A and B are shown apart, each in its own frame.
Chain A
Amino acid sequence: MLASGLITRRQFLQSSAAAPAAALTPAASHAFTLADYTLTIAPYTLQVSSRRFIRTTAYNSQVPGPLLRLHEERPVTIEVTNRTSNPEVVHWHGLFLPPEVDGAMEEGTPPILPGSTARYTFTPRPAGFRWYHTHTFAGRDLKKGQYTGQHGFLSIEPRQNPARYDAEMFLALHDWRAQLLASDDGSMNPYYDVSTINGHVLGFGEPLRVKAGQRLLLHVLNSSATDCHWIALSGHQFEVLALDGNPVPNPSAVPMLSLAPAERVSAIVELNNPGVWVLGEVRQHVRAAGMGVVVEYANRSGKPQWRQPDTLSWHYHQFESTQPTSPGNSGAIEVPLVFKSKFTGHGDLDHWTINGKSFPHTETVALQQGQRYRLQFINQSTDHHPVHLHRHVFELRRLSGRPTRGIMKDTMLVKSNTQADVEFIANDPGSTLFHCHQQDHMDTGFMMLFRYV
């Protein structure tokens, strides 16, 4: 029996299931209007290779789910049917949406109960590469939540698109068949047997077919429940245009991309090196687990070529504004958030605290509309944390002691034992969730809510 006043995230979600729907409404109330898109959440067996099948849960019987192309500021209705035995919710990651439809039960979005259908009606903004995914509790069941195939691309088309490219492709990096194993940090962590790009291991499924001379716009999403990934395309470079769907002030060419869970990168690849290449994870053991895809130029054949990079290289600073950074105070109110782990046994996941408390007991920070806030992410743990702020976008301001400007994100990786500062303007009233996007961390307390006053 739990002590009085102590509730877990799972219990919190169960109690919030009774909350009334706002913009998320039962489908029956719209019986005579057509939805713009329909999603069906159901069990699905994914064939990741010629001999390997993974039983999971997916949207519309595919992994990733269907690419939804929405238009900025044009209202849309998406009908979602839950054919699983668990309550579900769909989070529209990176959009500025009211809490009622944002897709986090912690904020007040009602769950879609098993066997029922609901409609999300909202006006998508801002433009850019977003994504949608489940936002449910998994705990020690590594076949639930973000460990499943419940993720899909969301492209919010701008009213005017000045981008110059010839072809556009979306890639999702995902890890499968997780199990909890003891790790060197003394606690259990999820480890994976299989890693895929768009649901297939390297060499299985269709290659990415391209043409010489084209400018290929790649949108890469890391939908892994817990792991960071590094991606390279042999023989080519990436010109990074946007992070988390937000244009960077200083687009730069880099040899590889790095994405923490929930991060996205949009980059141009100049297709100027005809051949058959591998686009894959830079780390050999992850690529061996399947994370890769063949990139095949037209009229080229042969064995796909891979050139192994010697090191991992990536830093947000590469894309920051080149304008001098003002050392002065931006007028932001500082909100220090200290991340720490709590040991609960060598046979258990670590539990997590923000300022000494685990969700749902974490403090609820009050925000004033229009005020600028500076969140100080003080990571006093040996784990990296991809932290995500719902319904808002923030600007990176200081990374490991070095100031920066101009990079707007909704998810960022705070490295172990470092501090990162970001700033955002409280311009979207409503309950706002902040959490680590690692499924095992958010399930064990790494969450908090902001509220507007």
Chain B
Amino acid sequence: MGTGLHRVRVPQATGRWWAFAAIGLIASMPLKAQGNYEIQVYGSDTIPPGSTMVELHSNFTALGQRSEIQGVYPTYHQEHETLEITQGINDWSEVGFYIFTSEQAGHGIQWVGDHIRPRVRVPRSWHWPIGVSLSTEIGYQRPVYSLDTWTWEIRPILDKAIYRWYFAFNPALERTWHGPDVHQGLAFAPAAKVSYDFTKRVSGGIEYYADYGAFSQFDSFREQQQQFFAATDLNVSPKWEINFGVGIGVTAATDHLIIKGILGRRFNWHKPSAVE
């Protein structure tokens, strides 16, 4: 199932010319590293009861942070593989579990951390005109990948399909429980998606991920994370989820080029009989 951009907020410098700027910024910025482990805008649907969704999120940072910051590995040429397993509880709730990993030259394959993500949705019987659900996510990541090791997120999810268009908006709030940002309070990290159904099987559009910083005082634009992905979804079967995208970061604090892919398969453990 979908989730937001799992990242740890970060000043980001990509490319040779940014390296000098990044060094200069380190002194004045919170020392954070961006972690793109699962890059996806949530839809409001939950997994049906008796079903399990298994997804593999693969992301490669082609242009990212090149230098280590306070012991946090650089994101440049990091390959992230995230396994997400989501179990449907009933027709309005689910629980997701994540295993984050990273592979990088010089560091090999590393376990990064784990998250758990319960989610509830507005039941269909309420007949709301848009899909609404609420996700909360708690997890740990190792300090070599994020100085904020324990984090919590609450993510409202709104979406709507209108004819060939699909709109989703995730105005997520993040909170650090352990790490340098523990006193920062709530941070605002919205994500959004607009896509168009070119055919029954092929949809394409733009995904947007951002981190504006603390609610009490947003970061300056260059310190914010702002990322846009051109993404496509292949709707080959209700059992499969396939998404592919290329994203660019438009601020200094954002990884500048990321390639992402999602491959998901839904398993129905109980096949209802014709009379069920």
Contact = CB atoms under 8 A, between A and B. Distances in A.
A interface bracket (residues with beta carbon within 8 Å of B): 20 to 34
Contacts of A345: 161-165, 197
A347 B275 contact: no
Contacts of A311: 273-275
A343 interface: yes
Given A193-B125, A343-B200, A346-B203, A285 B165 contact: no
Given A179-B127, A186-B235, A345-B197, A312 B163 contact: no
Given A283-B275, A312-B275, 8 more contacts: A182-B161, A184-B238, A285-B276, A311-B274, A345-B165, A346-B197, A347-B161, A347-B164
Interface residues of B, number: 21
Contacts of A283: 274-276
Interface of B: 45, 124-125, 127, 160-166, 197, 199-200, 203, 235, 238, 273-276
A241 B273 CA distance: 29
Nearest to B201: A186
Contacts of A181: 124
A346 B275 contact: no
A177 B165 CA distance: 25
> Which of A179, A284, A346 has the most B CB atoms < 10 Å from its CB?
A346
Q: Interface on chain A toward B: helix, strand, loop, or mixed SS? A: loop
Nearest to B162: A347
In the A-B complex, the 9 residue pairs with the smallest Cβ-Cβ separation, listed nearest first, are A347-B161, A345-B164, A345-B163, A184-B238, A343-B200, A348-B163, A347-B162, A312-B274, A345-B197
Given A179-B124, A191-B124, A346 B276 contact: no
Interface in A180-194: 181-182, 184, 186-188, 191, 193
A346 B160 CA distance: 10
A52 B163 CA distance: 32
A181 B124 CA distance: 9
Nearest to A186: B200
A310 B124 contact: no
Nearest to A281: B275
B162 A343 contact: no
A191 B160 CA distance: 17
A346 B166 contact: yes
7 contacts: A186-B200, A282-B275, A284-B276, A310-B275, A346-B164, A347-B161, A347-B164
B160 A347 contact: yes
Nearest to A350: B200
Given A186-B235, A343-B200, A310 B273 contact: yes
Contacts of A187: 200
A284 B124 contact: no
A237 to B, nearest CB: 17
Contact of B275 (A179, A184, A308): A308
Contacts of B127: 177, 179, 193
A29 to B, nearest CB: 44
A310 B274 CA distance: 8
Contacts of A182: 45, 161
A347 B162 CA distance: 4
A247 B198 CA distance: 49
A191 B125 CA distance: 10
Nearest to A187: B200
A309 interface: yes
A272 interface: no
A344 interface: yes
A284 B274 CA distance: 9
A269 B275 CA distance: 23
